[in-house]
Amino acid sequence: AQKITQTQPGMFVQEKEAVTLDCTYDTSDQSYGLFWYKQPSSGEMIFLIYQGSYDEQNATEGRYSLNFQKARKSTNLVISASQLGDSAMYFCAMREGNTGGFKTIFGAGTRLFVKA
Amino acid sequence: DAGVIQSPRHEVTEMGQEVTLRCKPISGHNSLFWYRQTMMRGLELLIYFNNNVPIDDSGMPEDRFSAKMPNASFSTLKIQPSEPRDSAVYFCASSPGVLGGETQYFGPGTRLLVL
């Protein structure tokens, strides 16, 4: 069963506008972690932001913020004031388990295109 | 601080040859992960180690693939014999491996092409 679902294969956003990338997850664990990574065309995987399942406040990191809705099992990434350099593939991921290294499962990704 | 280091960055080989990919995790990190990324299958976890011990190798495609972590600062992923369908980008990632410190940091990847 797919545990991380990113339903938007591709998204367009106008430069300087905000954009929301969707992610839903499935787990029966009470303790888990949610991550977003960016992969530009150069290929590297860049960690953006993290949300723990017990965190009561939505995580924020600069222009990145999460809309974490635990009951709905969703953790949407909001990028404010989009820049051309934000054009990339974005992956949502979830950490499973509490011990032994924390296996992480990745979604299929959403490709974001920022238009000038 | 140096990030995760992978070598080689690019590898072109012929079908049947042995391929060895190398990874040096971030110093102090206890967990190490090997991923494979293709257009068709996305990002797949192959195997991961915690404190140099393999924890889950269920993602290793078949017996042609093997991975070792002889010490905390070095890991290898070996494919023998290689096949064209093994062509992919292979990422190594490491993390502190403790609750609250489970974010994985990725290396630049090794782009493998098997002819």
CA distance B27 to chain A (A): 16
Question: What is the token pair recorded at B102?
Answer: 């489970």
Residues B91, A45: C-beta atoms closer than 8 Å: yes
- Hey, are the CB atoms on B102 and A106 less than 8 Å from each other? no
Q: What is the DSSP letter of A86?
A: G
Rounded to an integer, what distance in angstroms lies between the CA atom of residue B94 and that of residue A45? 12
List, in order, residues 6 or more apart from A61 with CB less than 8 Å away.
A48, A49
> Are A44 and B89 spatial neighbours (Cβ–Cβ below 8 Å)?
no
SS3 A6: coil
A45 three-class SS: coil
The per-residue pLDDT for B1 is: 64
Burial group, residue A14, by CB count within 10 angstroms (0-12, 13-18, 19+): exposed
Classify residue A54 as left (phi > 0), alpha (psi -120 to 50) or beta: alpha
- Residue range B37-47, pLDDT digits in tens: 999 988 999 99
Q: Provide the percentage of residues in chain B whose pLDDT is more than 70.
A: 96
List pLDDT tens digits, range A60-113: 999 999 999 999 999 999 999 999 999 999 999 998 766 555 778 899 999 999
One-letter amino acid for residue A3 of the chain:
K
**B20-49: average pLDDT:** 94
Task: Indicate the average pLDDT of chain B.
Answer: 93
Per CB-CB distance under 8 Å, the chain A contacts of B48 are: 101, 103
Whether A100 has its CB under 8 Å from any CB of chain B: the answer is: yes
Q: What is the dihedral of CA A91, A63, A102, B30, to 10 degrees?
A: 120
Provide φ and ψ at A84, rounded to 5°. -55, -35
Confidence class for position B56, pLDDT limits 50, 70, 90: confident
Q: What is the pLDDT of residues A24-69, one digit of tens each?
A: 999 888 888 899 999 999 999 999 999 988 888 999 999 999 999 9
Residue B83: per-residue pLDDT: 96
Q: Which residues of A touch B89 (CB under 8 A)?
A: 43
Q: Which of B42, B49, B108 sits opposite A106 (nearest CB)?
A: B42
pLDDT tens-digit series, residues B65-115? 999 999 999 999 999 999 999 999 999 999 987 766 678 999 999 999 999
